[in-house]
A and B are shown apart, each in its own frame.
Chain A
Protein backbone atom coordinates (compact mmCIF):
# COMPACT_ATOMS: atom_id res chain seq x y z
CA UNK A 1 0.00 0.00 0.00
CA UNK A 2 1.32 3.42 -1.01
CA UNK A 3 0.03 6.53 0.69
CA UNK A 4 -0.91 9.67 -1.18
CA UNK A 5 -2.93 12.72 -0.22
CA UNK A 6 -4.64 12.84 -3.57
CA UNK A 7 -5.11 10.26 -6.33
CA UNK A 8 -6.31 11.61 -9.69
CA UNK A 9 -7.84 9.09 -12.08
CA UNK A 10 -7.11 10.25 -15.62
CA UNK A 11 -4.34 12.43 -17.05
CA UNK A 12 -6.26 14.39 -19.66
CA UNK A 13 -7.01 18.11 -19.36
CA UNK A 14 -9.33 17.53 -16.38
CA UNK A 15 -6.96 15.37 -14.35
CA UNK A 16 -3.96 17.59 -15.04
CA UNK A 17 -5.78 20.81 -14.07
CA UNK A 18 -7.16 19.25 -10.88
CA UNK A 19 -3.77 17.86 -9.85
CA UNK A 20 -2.01 21.16 -10.57
CA UNK A 21 -4.57 23.17 -8.63
CA UNK A 22 -4.27 20.88 -5.60
CA UNK A 23 -0.49 21.14 -5.83
CA UNK A 24 -0.70 24.96 -5.94
CA UNK A 25 -2.86 24.77 -2.82
CA UNK A 26 0.00 23.07 -1.00
CA UNK A 27 -0.97 19.41 -1.30
CA UNK A 28 2.33 17.50 -1.34
CA UNK A 29 1.65 13.93 -2.29
CA UNK A 30 -0.35 13.69 -5.49
CA UNK A 31 -0.46 10.85 -8.01
CA UNK A 32 -2.01 10.99 -11.49
CA UNK A 33 -3.01 7.62 -12.93
CA UNK A 34 -3.36 7.54 -16.73
CA UNK A 35 -4.47 4.61 -18.87
CA UNK A 36 -2.72 5.77 -22.06
CA UNK A 37 1.00 5.95 -22.80
CA UNK A 38 1.12 9.72 -22.44
CA UNK A 39 -0.63 12.52 -20.60
CA UNK A 40 -2.97 14.77 -22.55
CA UNK A 41 -5.97 12.55 -23.11
CA UNK A 42 -8.03 13.09 -26.24
CA UNK A 43 -6.33 16.46 -26.91
CA UNK A 44 -3.37 14.56 -28.39
CA UNK A 45 -5.42 13.64 -31.46
CA UNK A 46 -7.33 16.94 -31.71
CA UNK A 47 -4.80 18.62 -33.95
CA UNK A 48 -7.16 21.40 -35.09
CA UNK A 49 -7.01 24.81 -33.45
CA UNK A 50 -9.64 26.60 -31.39
CA UNK A 51 -8.51 25.46 -27.94
CA UNK A 52 -7.49 27.95 -25.27
CA UNK A 53 -9.30 31.06 -26.53
CA UNK A 54 -10.90 31.57 -23.12
CA UNK A 55 -8.24 30.19 -20.79
CA UNK A 56 -5.03 31.35 -22.48
CA UNK A 57 -6.51 34.10 -24.68
CA UNK A 58 -4.94 32.55 -27.76
CA UNK A 59 -5.85 29.92 -30.26
CA UNK A 60 -4.00 26.64 -29.74
CA UNK A 61 -4.19 23.13 -31.15
CA UNK A 62 -5.12 20.25 -28.84
CA UNK A 63 -1.56 18.97 -28.35
CA UNK A 64 -0.33 22.52 -27.67
CA UNK A 65 -3.05 23.05 -25.03
CA UNK A 66 -2.19 19.73 -23.37
CA UNK A 67 1.52 20.46 -23.75
CA UNK A 68 1.27 23.57 -21.58
CA UNK A 69 -0.21 21.58 -18.71
CA UNK A 70 2.20 18.67 -19.17
CA UNK A 71 5.06 21.16 -18.86
CA UNK A 72 3.58 22.69 -15.69
CA UNK A 73 3.16 19.20 -14.24
CA UNK A 74 6.81 18.36 -14.93
CA UNK A 75 7.86 21.28 -12.74
CA UNK A 76 5.98 19.92 -9.70
CA UNK A 77 6.55 16.83 -7.57
CA UNK A 78 3.27 15.29 -8.76
CA UNK A 79 3.83 11.59 -9.48
CA UNK A 80 2.57 10.54 -12.92
CA UNK A 81 1.92 6.90 -13.72
CA UNK A 82 1.04 6.31 -17.37
CA UNK A 83 0.03 2.98 -18.92
CA UNK A 84 -1.82 2.47 -15.66
CA UNK A 85 -5.38 1.23 -15.45
CA UNK A 86 -7.47 1.96 -12.38
CA UNK A 87 -9.64 -1.02 -11.49
CA UNK A 88 -11.47 0.01 -8.37
CA UNK A 89 -12.09 2.77 -5.86
CA UNK A 90 -13.06 1.38 -2.45
CA UNK A 91 -15.25 2.98 0.22
CA UNK A 92 -12.17 4.12 2.19
CA UNK A 93 -10.80 5.81 -0.98
CA UNK A 94 -8.23 3.07 -1.61
CA UNK A 95 -7.51 3.05 -5.32
CA UNK A 96 -6.56 -0.24 -6.96
CA UNK A 97 -4.67 0.03 -10.25
CA UNK A 98 -2.48 -2.13 -12.42
CA UNK A 99 0.46 -1.54 -14.75
CA UNK A 100 3.43 -3.43 -16.22
CA UNK A 101 6.12 -2.11 -13.90
CA UNK A 102 4.38 -1.98 -10.52
CA UNK A 103 2.01 -4.88 -11.07
CA UNK A 104 -0.98 -4.48 -8.80
CA UNK A 105 -0.99 -1.09 -7.08
CA UNK A 106 -2.89 -0.25 -3.91
CA UNK A 107 -3.01 3.46 -3.25
CA UNK A 108 -4.44 4.80 -0.04
CA UNK A 109 -5.60 8.34 -0.75
CA UNK A 110 -7.21 10.96 1.47
CA UNK A 111 -9.09 12.30 -1.56
CA UNK A 112 -9.74 11.07 -5.10
CA UNK A 113 -10.51 13.09 -8.22
CA UNK A 114 -12.39 11.26 -10.96
CA UNK A 115 -11.30 12.61 -14.35
CA UNK A 116 -11.86 9.69 -16.70
CA UNK A 117 -13.44 11.73 -19.48
CA UNK A 118 -15.98 10.28 -21.86
CA UNK A 119 -16.20 7.97 -24.83
CA UNK A 120 -18.16 8.02 -28.06
CA UNK A 121 -21.54 6.43 -28.44
CA UNK A 122 -20.81 3.41 -30.64
CA UNK A 123 -22.67 1.90 -33.58
CA UNK A 124 -24.16 -0.76 -31.31
CA UNK A 125 -26.13 1.95 -29.50
CA UNK A 126 -27.97 2.84 -32.72
CA UNK A 127 -30.35 0.54 -34.50
CA UNK A 128 -28.87 0.58 -37.98
CA UNK A 129 -29.56 -2.52 -40.06
CA UNK A 130 -26.70 -4.20 -41.93
CA UNK A 131 -23.64 -6.38 -41.42
CA UNK A 132 -20.52 -5.43 -39.51
CA UNK A 133 -18.10 -4.89 -42.39
CA UNK A 134 -14.98 -2.74 -42.21
CA UNK A 135 -15.39 0.97 -42.76
CA UNK A 136 -17.84 1.81 -39.98
CA UNK A 137 -16.26 3.64 -37.08
CA UNK A 138 -16.73 6.51 -34.69
CA UNK A 139 -15.39 9.88 -35.78
CA UNK A 140 -12.90 9.82 -32.90
CA UNK A 141 -11.50 6.47 -34.01
CA UNK A 142 -11.06 7.85 -37.52
CA UNK A 143 -9.39 10.91 -36.00
CA UNK A 144 -6.86 8.67 -34.26
CA UNK A 145 -6.17 6.74 -37.48
CA UNK A 146 -5.50 9.92 -39.44
CA UNK A 147 -3.83 12.17 -36.87
CA UNK A 148 -1.82 9.72 -34.76
CA UNK A 149 -1.34 6.61 -36.88
CA UNK A 150 -1.00 8.57 -40.11
CA UNK A 151 -3.25 6.64 -42.44
CA UNK A 152 -6.55 7.20 -44.18
CA UNK A 153 -9.42 4.90 -43.17
CA UNK A 154 -11.39 5.51 -46.40
CA UNK A 155 -11.98 7.58 -49.52
CA UNK A 156 -15.73 8.16 -49.80
CA UNK A 157 -17.23 9.15 -46.51
CA UNK A 158 -20.69 9.66 -45.04
CA UNK A 159 -20.82 11.13 -41.55
CA UNK A 160 -23.77 10.53 -39.25
CA UNK A 161 -24.15 13.16 -36.54
CA UNK A 162 -23.17 16.80 -36.74
CA UNK A 163 -21.45 17.08 -33.37
CA UNK A 164 -18.14 18.90 -33.43
CA UNK A 165 -15.98 15.79 -33.86
CA UNK A 166 -17.98 14.80 -36.94
CA UNK A 167 -17.63 18.28 -38.42
CA UNK A 168 -13.91 18.45 -37.67
CA UNK A 169 -13.39 15.05 -39.31
CA UNK A 170 -15.36 16.15 -42.39
CA UNK A 171 -12.75 18.85 -42.93
CA UNK A 172 -9.81 16.67 -41.99
CA UNK A 173 -10.76 13.89 -44.43
CA UNK A 174 -11.44 16.44 -47.19
CA UNK A 175 -8.04 18.11 -46.71
CA UNK A 176 -6.39 14.69 -46.99
CA UNK A 177 -8.10 14.05 -50.31
CA UNK A 178 -11.18 12.02 -49.36
CA UNK A 179 -14.63 12.85 -50.67
CA UNK A 180 -17.02 13.60 -47.82
CA UNK A 181 -20.42 13.18 -49.41
CA UNK A 182 -22.62 14.49 -46.63
CA UNK A 183 -23.18 14.91 -42.94
CA UNK A 184 -26.55 13.57 -41.77
CA UNK A 185 -28.15 14.91 -38.61
CA UNK A 186 -31.17 13.31 -36.96
CA UNK A 187 -32.26 16.54 -35.28
CA UNK A 188 -33.60 19.60 -37.13
CA UNK A 189 -30.52 21.54 -35.94
CA UNK A 190 -26.82 20.82 -35.67
CA UNK A 191 -25.23 20.08 -32.32
CA UNK A 192 -21.94 21.59 -33.46
CA UNK A 193 -20.48 25.07 -33.04
CA UNK A 194 -21.39 27.57 -35.78
CA UNK A 195 -17.77 28.21 -36.65
CA UNK A 196 -17.31 24.50 -37.32
CA UNK A 197 -20.35 24.37 -39.61
CA UNK A 198 -18.96 27.28 -41.59
CA UNK A 199 -15.30 26.29 -41.66
CA UNK A 200 -15.63 22.50 -41.86
CA UNK A 201 -18.68 22.06 -44.09
CA UNK A 202 -19.56 25.24 -46.00
CA UNK A 203 -15.93 25.91 -46.93
CA UNK A 204 -15.84 22.59 -48.77
CA UNK A 205 -19.47 22.52 -50.01
CA UNK A 206 -20.25 19.47 -47.89
CA UNK A 207 -24.03 19.18 -47.55
CA UNK A 208 -25.51 19.08 -44.03
CA UNK A 209 -28.71 17.07 -44.19
CA UNK A 210 -30.86 17.88 -41.18
CA UNK A 211 -33.69 15.60 -39.95
CA UNK A 212 -31.96 12.77 -41.79
CA UNK A 213 -30.48 9.53 -40.53
CA UNK A 214 -28.75 6.39 -41.75
CA UNK A 215 -31.20 3.46 -41.72
CA UNK A 216 -29.05 0.69 -43.24
CA UNK A 217 -25.47 -0.14 -44.14
CA UNK A 218 -24.59 -2.25 -47.18
CA UNK A 219 -21.60 -4.46 -47.99
CA UNK A 220 -20.31 -7.52 -46.20
CA UNK A 221 -16.51 -7.40 -45.88
CA UNK A 222 -16.25 -3.68 -46.53
CA UNK A 223 -18.88 -0.98 -46.47
CA UNK A 224 -20.23 -0.28 -49.98
CA UNK A 225 -22.94 2.20 -49.22
CA UNK A 226 -25.59 3.39 -46.80
CA UNK A 227 -29.30 4.06 -47.03
CA UNK A 228 -30.32 7.40 -45.63
CA UNK A 229 -33.86 8.62 -44.93
CA UNK A 230 -35.58 11.75 -43.69
CA UNK A 231 -37.21 11.51 -40.27
CA UNK A 232 -40.57 12.86 -39.13
CA UNK A 233 -41.16 15.07 -36.09
CA UNK A 234 -41.07 11.98 -33.89
CA UNK A 235 -37.61 11.24 -35.31
CA UNK A 236 -38.93 8.13 -37.10
CA UNK A 237 -37.53 7.43 -40.60
CA UNK A 238 -39.97 8.09 -43.46
CA UNK A 239 -39.62 5.04 -45.76
CA UNK A 240 -40.58 6.89 -48.97
CA UNK A 241 -37.60 9.22 -48.55
CA UNK A 242 -35.01 6.39 -48.45
CA UNK A 243 -32.03 7.00 -50.69
CA UNK A 244 -28.90 4.90 -51.41
CA UNK A 245 -25.55 6.63 -51.06
CA UNK A 246 -22.42 4.75 -52.20
CA UNK A 247 -19.50 5.14 -49.75
CA UNK A 248 -16.69 3.06 -48.22
CA UNK A 249 -16.69 4.72 -44.83
CA UNK A 250 -19.38 5.67 -42.31
CA UNK A 251 -18.27 7.83 -39.41
CA UNK A 252 -20.44 8.20 -36.35
CA UNK A 253 -20.50 11.38 -34.33
CA UNK A 254 -23.62 10.66 -32.34
CA UNK A 255 -22.85 11.74 -28.83
CA UNK A 256 -20.46 11.27 -25.96
CA UNK A 257 -21.02 9.22 -22.83
CA UNK A 258 -19.16 9.98 -19.60
CA UNK A 259 -17.01 6.98 -18.70
CA UNK A 260 -18.39 6.19 -15.26
CA UNK A 261 -17.81 2.47 -14.74
CA UNK A 262 -15.50 3.20 -11.81
CA UNK A 263 -17.96 5.68 -10.34
CA UNK A 264 -20.82 3.18 -10.59
CA UNK A 265 -18.74 0.45 -8.98
CA UNK A 266 -17.95 2.86 -6.18
CA UNK A 267 -21.69 3.19 -5.60
CA UNK A 268 -22.09 6.78 -6.82
CA UNK A 269 -25.48 7.76 -8.18
CA UNK A 270 -25.41 9.31 -11.61
CA UNK A 271 -27.49 12.23 -12.81
CA UNK A 272 -30.06 10.87 -15.29
CA UNK A 273 -29.37 13.62 -17.82
CA UNK A 274 -25.62 14.27 -17.55
CA UNK A 275 -24.74 10.61 -16.92
CA UNK A 276 -22.14 11.95 -14.52
CA UNK A 277 -21.98 11.74 -10.73
CA UNK A 278 -24.06 14.19 -8.68
CA UNK A 279 -21.80 16.79 -7.09
CA UNK A 280 -21.74 19.83 -4.82
CA UNK A 281 -20.26 23.26 -5.61
CA UNK A 282 -16.69 21.92 -5.25
CA UNK A 283 -17.56 18.90 -7.40
CA UNK A 284 -17.53 16.54 -4.43
CA UNK A 285 -19.67 13.48 -5.17
CA UNK A 286 -21.97 11.81 -2.65
CA UNK A 287 -18.95 9.84 -1.49
CA UNK A 288 -16.86 11.87 0.99
CA UNK A 289 -13.52 12.90 -0.45
CA UNK A 290 -14.31 11.73 -3.99
CA UNK A 291 -14.52 14.56 -6.51
CA UNK A 292 -15.34 14.53 -10.23
CA UNK A 293 -14.60 16.96 -13.05
CA UNK A 294 -14.34 17.31 -16.80
CA UNK A 295 -16.22 15.14 -19.27
CA UNK A 296 -16.79 12.37 -16.76
CA UNK A 297 -19.05 14.80 -14.91
CA UNK A 298 -20.75 16.48 -17.86
CA UNK A 299 -19.78 16.62 -21.52
CA UNK A 300 -18.26 20.03 -22.29
CA UNK A 301 -18.00 21.87 -25.61
CA UNK A 302 -14.75 23.62 -24.79
CA UNK A 303 -11.67 22.30 -23.04
CA UNK A 304 -11.25 25.73 -21.45
CA UNK A 305 -14.37 25.02 -19.38
CA UNK A 306 -13.01 21.58 -18.46
CA UNK A 307 -9.91 23.26 -17.09
CA UNK A 308 -11.99 25.76 -15.12
CA UNK A 309 -14.20 23.04 -13.65
CA UNK A 310 -11.24 20.83 -12.79
CA UNK A 311 -9.55 23.65 -10.92
CA UNK A 312 -12.69 23.91 -8.80
CA UNK A 313 -12.48 20.16 -8.07
CA UNK A 314 -8.74 20.39 -7.38
CA UNK A 315 -9.35 23.26 -4.96
CA UNK A 316 -12.18 21.31 -3.32
CA UNK A 317 -9.99 18.23 -2.91
CA UNK A 318 -7.21 20.35 -1.40
CA UNK A 319 -9.67 21.91 1.06
CA UNK A 320 -10.97 18.45 1.95
CA UNK A 321 -7.47 17.10 2.58
CA UNK A 322 -6.66 20.10 4.78
CA UNK A 323 -9.93 19.65 6.68
CA UNK A 324 -11.21 23.03 5.48
CA UNK A 325 -13.99 21.90 3.20
CA UNK A 326 -17.49 22.82 4.29
CA UNK A 327 -20.02 20.04 4.01
CA UNK A 328 -23.29 20.44 5.78
CA UNK A 329 -26.88 21.27 4.90
CA UNK A 330 -27.32 21.56 1.18
CA UNK A 331 -29.78 23.24 -1.08
CA UNK A 332 -30.69 21.55 -4.36
CA UNK A 333 -30.64 22.80 -7.92
CA UNK A 334 -33.11 21.91 -10.62
CA UNK A 335 -33.50 22.75 -14.30
CA UNK A 336 -37.07 23.15 -15.55
CA UNK A 337 -38.93 24.58 -18.58
CA UNK A 338 -36.28 24.08 -21.21
CA UNK A 339 -33.25 23.75 -18.91
CA UNK A 340 -32.21 20.12 -19.13
CA UNK A 341 -29.87 19.83 -16.17
CA UNK A 342 -27.73 21.77 -13.74
CA UNK A 343 -24.23 21.09 -12.42
CA UNK A 344 -23.66 21.21 -9.47
CA UNK A 345 -26.75 19.36 -8.29
CA UNK A 346 -26.41 20.64 -4.71
CA UNK A 347 -24.74 23.54 -2.89
CA UNK A 348 -23.63 23.72 0.72
CA UNK A 349 -25.63 26.49 2.37
CA UNK A 350 -22.60 27.76 4.25
CA UNK A 351 -20.34 27.64 1.22
CA UNK A 352 -17.32 29.95 1.11
CA UNK A 353 -17.60 30.65 -2.61
CA UNK A 354 -19.88 32.15 -5.24
CA UNK A 355 -21.23 29.35 -7.39
CA UNK A 356 -21.65 29.12 -11.15
CA UNK A 357 -24.56 26.91 -12.13
CA UNK A 358 -23.80 25.28 -15.48
CA UNK A 359 -26.60 24.04 -17.69
CA UNK A 360 -27.78 23.25 -21.18
CA UNK A 361 -31.09 24.05 -22.83
CA UNK A 362 -33.10 21.49 -24.77
CA UNK A 363 -33.94 23.55 -27.86
CA UNK A 364 -32.89 26.69 -29.75
CA UNK A 365 -34.23 29.97 -28.30
CA UNK A 366 -33.77 33.55 -29.48
CA UNK A 367 -34.28 36.60 -27.26
CA UNK A 368 -35.18 34.49 -24.25
CA UNK A 369 -34.49 35.00 -20.55
CA UNK A 370 -32.83 32.74 -18.05
CA UNK A 371 -34.75 32.99 -14.80
CA UNK A 372 -33.31 31.74 -11.51
CA UNK A 373 -35.76 31.29 -8.64
CA UNK A 374 -35.90 29.89 -5.13
CA UNK A 375 -38.83 29.78 -2.72
CA UNK A 376 -41.03 31.55 -5.24
CA UNK A 377 -38.70 34.51 -5.48
CA UNK A 378 -36.60 35.51 -8.45
CA UNK A 379 -32.88 35.52 -7.63
CA UNK A 380 -31.83 36.75 -11.02
CA UNK A 381 -32.97 37.04 -14.59
CA UNK A 382 -30.64 37.33 -17.54
CA UNK A 383 -31.54 38.16 -21.14
CA UNK A 384 -29.97 36.00 -23.84
CA UNK A 385 -29.98 36.79 -27.55
CA UNK A 386 -29.49 33.16 -28.36
CA UNK A 387 -29.56 29.85 -26.49
CA UNK A 388 -28.87 26.51 -28.12
CA UNK A 389 -28.29 22.94 -26.94
CA UNK A 390 -24.77 22.93 -28.37
CA UNK A 391 -23.50 25.66 -26.05
CA UNK A 392 -23.16 25.29 -22.30
CA UNK A 393 -24.45 28.27 -20.30
CA UNK A 394 -24.04 29.39 -16.71
CA UNK A 395 -25.46 31.76 -14.13
CA UNK A 396 -23.48 33.03 -11.14
CA UNK A 397 -25.10 32.81 -7.70
CA UNK A 398 -23.54 34.85 -4.89
CA UNK A 399 -22.69 33.02 -1.70
CA UNK A 400 -24.68 35.40 0.50
CA UNK A 401 -27.78 34.68 -1.60
CA UNK A 402 -27.20 30.98 -0.98
CA UNK A 403 -26.63 31.50 2.76
CA UNK A 404 -29.95 33.35 3.09
CA UNK A 405 -32.00 30.54 1.57
CA UNK A 406 -33.87 28.36 4.06
CA UNK A 407 -32.86 24.77 4.61
CA UNK A 408 -34.12 22.30 1.97
CA UNK A 409 -34.63 25.05 -0.64
CA UNK A 410 -34.24 24.29 -4.30
CA UNK A 411 -32.85 26.77 -6.81
CA UNK A 412 -34.62 26.37 -10.14
CA UNK A 413 -33.37 27.66 -13.45
CA UNK A 414 -35.75 28.00 -16.37
CA UNK A 415 -36.02 29.53 -19.82
CA UNK A 416 -38.63 32.20 -20.38
CA UNK A 417 -39.15 32.44 -24.12
Chain B
Protein backbone atom coordinates (compact mmCIF):
# COMPACT_ATOMS: atom_id res chain seq x y z
CA UNK B 1 0.00 0.00 0.00
CA UNK B 2 1.20 3.48 -0.88
CA UNK B 3 -0.08 6.94 -0.01
CA UNK B 4 0.32 9.86 -2.41
CA UNK B 5 -0.16 13.52 -1.56
CA UNK B 6 -1.50 15.78 -4.31
CA UNK B 7 -2.59 19.39 -4.60
CA UNK B 8 -5.79 19.51 -6.60
CA UNK B 9 -5.72 21.82 -9.65
CA UNK B 10 -9.38 21.46 -10.61
CA UNK B 11 -10.13 24.89 -9.15
CA UNK B 12 -8.26 27.70 -7.31
CA UNK B 13 -9.06 26.22 -3.89
CA UNK B 14 -6.09 23.85 -4.16
CA UNK B 15 -7.26 21.13 -1.75
CA UNK B 16 -4.61 18.79 -0.38
CA UNK B 17 -5.65 15.30 -1.44
CA UNK B 18 -4.34 11.99 -0.12
CA UNK B 19 -4.69 8.99 -2.40
CA UNK B 20 -4.19 5.47 -1.08
CA UNK B 21 -2.94 3.10 -3.75
CA UNK B 22 -3.00 -0.70 -3.67
CA UNK B 23 0.00 -2.88 -4.55
CA UNK B 24 -1.12 -3.06 -8.16
CA UNK B 25 -1.31 0.74 -8.35
CA UNK B 26 -5.10 0.72 -8.11
CA UNK B 27 -6.81 3.57 -6.24
CA UNK B 28 -8.21 2.35 -2.90
CA UNK B 29 -9.20 5.63 -1.31
CA UNK B 30 -9.28 9.37 -2.04
CA UNK B 31 -9.48 11.75 0.92
CA UNK B 32 -9.09 15.50 1.46
CA UNK B 33 -10.97 16.54 -1.68
CA UNK B 34 -14.03 18.72 -1.19
CA UNK B 35 -15.80 17.98 -4.46
CA UNK B 36 -16.32 15.33 -7.14
CA UNK B 37 -13.96 17.02 -9.56
CA UNK B 38 -11.19 16.62 -7.00
CA UNK B 39 -11.90 12.92 -6.75
CA UNK B 40 -11.75 12.53 -10.54
CA UNK B 41 -8.55 14.56 -10.77
CA UNK B 42 -6.86 12.50 -8.06
CA UNK B 43 -7.85 9.19 -9.69
CA UNK B 44 -6.61 10.19 -13.13
CA UNK B 45 -3.40 11.67 -11.70
CA UNK B 46 -2.58 8.38 -9.95
CA UNK B 47 -3.57 6.00 -12.73
CA UNK B 48 -3.17 7.67 -16.12
CA UNK B 49 -2.00 11.28 -15.75
CA UNK B 50 -2.32 13.44 -18.86
CA UNK B 51 -1.25 16.95 -19.84
CA UNK B 52 -1.97 19.22 -22.74
CA UNK B 53 1.24 20.10 -24.52
CA UNK B 54 2.05 23.49 -26.03
CA UNK B 55 5.20 24.37 -27.94
CA UNK B 56 6.29 25.78 -31.30
CA UNK B 57 7.09 24.34 -34.73
CA UNK B 58 9.60 25.81 -37.14
CA UNK B 59 8.11 27.66 -40.13
CA UNK B 60 9.71 27.43 -43.58
CA UNK B 61 9.44 30.05 -46.27
CA UNK B 62 7.59 32.61 -44.20
CA UNK B 63 8.07 35.80 -42.25
CA UNK B 64 7.61 34.02 -38.92
CA UNK B 65 10.37 31.83 -37.49
CA UNK B 66 8.04 29.56 -35.56
CA UNK B 67 4.32 29.00 -35.12
CA UNK B 68 2.78 28.03 -31.78
CA UNK B 69 1.10 24.61 -31.59
CA UNK B 70 -0.82 22.57 -29.05
CA UNK B 71 -1.91 18.99 -28.64
CA UNK B 72 -5.56 18.97 -29.68
CA UNK B 73 -6.29 16.91 -26.55
CA UNK B 74 -4.28 15.79 -23.53
CA UNK B 75 -1.38 13.37 -24.08
CA UNK B 76 -0.02 10.92 -21.48
CA UNK B 77 2.19 12.85 -19.06
CA UNK B 78 5.05 10.38 -19.51
CA UNK B 79 5.14 10.98 -23.26
CA UNK B 80 5.62 14.75 -23.18
CA UNK B 81 9.35 14.66 -23.93
CA UNK B 82 8.93 12.03 -26.66
CA UNK B 83 6.29 14.22 -28.28
CA UNK B 84 8.63 17.22 -28.00
CA UNK B 85 11.32 15.30 -29.94
CA UNK B 86 8.93 14.59 -32.80
CA UNK B 87 7.60 18.16 -32.84
CA UNK B 88 11.09 19.68 -32.79
CA UNK B 89 12.05 17.64 -35.88
CA UNK B 90 8.99 18.80 -37.80
CA UNK B 91 8.53 21.97 -39.79
CA UNK B 92 5.64 23.56 -41.67
CA UNK B 93 5.50 25.60 -44.85
CA UNK B 94 4.04 29.11 -44.58
CA UNK B 95 1.29 30.19 -44.64
CA UNK B 96 -0.18 28.42 -41.61
CA UNK B 97 -3.70 29.03 -40.29
CA UNK B 98 -5.05 28.63 -36.73
CA UNK B 99 -6.32 25.06 -36.41
CA UNK B 100 -4.15 23.56 -39.18
CA UNK B 101 -3.00 20.04 -38.28
CA UNK B 102 0.79 20.11 -38.16
CA UNK B 103 1.37 16.52 -37.03
CA UNK B 104 -1.34 13.88 -37.24
CA UNK B 105 -1.75 11.36 -34.43
CA UNK B 106 1.54 12.15 -32.71
CA UNK B 107 3.33 8.93 -31.66
CA UNK B 108 0.13 6.95 -31.99
CA UNK B 109 -1.57 8.78 -29.12
CA UNK B 110 -4.55 9.57 -31.32
CA UNK B 111 -3.90 13.26 -30.62
CA UNK B 112 -3.10 15.76 -33.38
CA UNK B 113 -0.69 18.67 -33.01
CA UNK B 114 -2.45 21.78 -34.31
CA UNK B 115 -1.37 25.36 -34.97
CA UNK B 116 -2.68 27.96 -32.51
CA UNK B 117 -1.82 31.05 -34.52
CA UNK B 118 -1.58 32.19 -38.12
CA UNK B 119 1.88 32.47 -39.66
CA UNK B 120 2.66 34.18 -42.92
A: residues with CB less than 8 A from B are: 44, 47-49, 59-61, 63-64, 67, 146-151, 172, 175-177, 193-195, 197-199, 203, 385-386, 391
Contact = CB atoms under 8 A, between A and B. Distances in A.
Given A67-B98, A67-B118, A147-B66, A61 B9 contact: no
A195 B9 CA distance: 5
A147 B81 CA distance: 17
A194 B70 contact: no
A385 B8 CA distance: 15
A175 B6 CA distance: 22
B55 A175 contact: yes
Interface in B73-120: 77, 80-81, 84, 88, 98, 116-118
A386 B118 CA distance: 40
Contacts of B14: 194, 386
Interface string B39-83: 000000000000111111010000001101010000001001100
B30 interface: no
Contacts of A60: 116
Interface residues of B, number: 28
Nearest to B77: A203
A172 B70 CA distance: 13
A198 B65 contact: no
B57 to A, nearest CB: 9
Contacts of A44: 117
B12 interface: yes
Given A64-B116, A147-B66, A198 B9 contact: yes
Given A67-B98, A194-B9, A175 B84 contact: yes
Contact of B66 (A64, A148, A203, A386): A148
Contacts of B88: 176
B9 A199 contact: yes
Contacts of B68: 47, 61, 63, 147
B37 to A, nearest CB: 13
A37 to B, nearest CB: 10
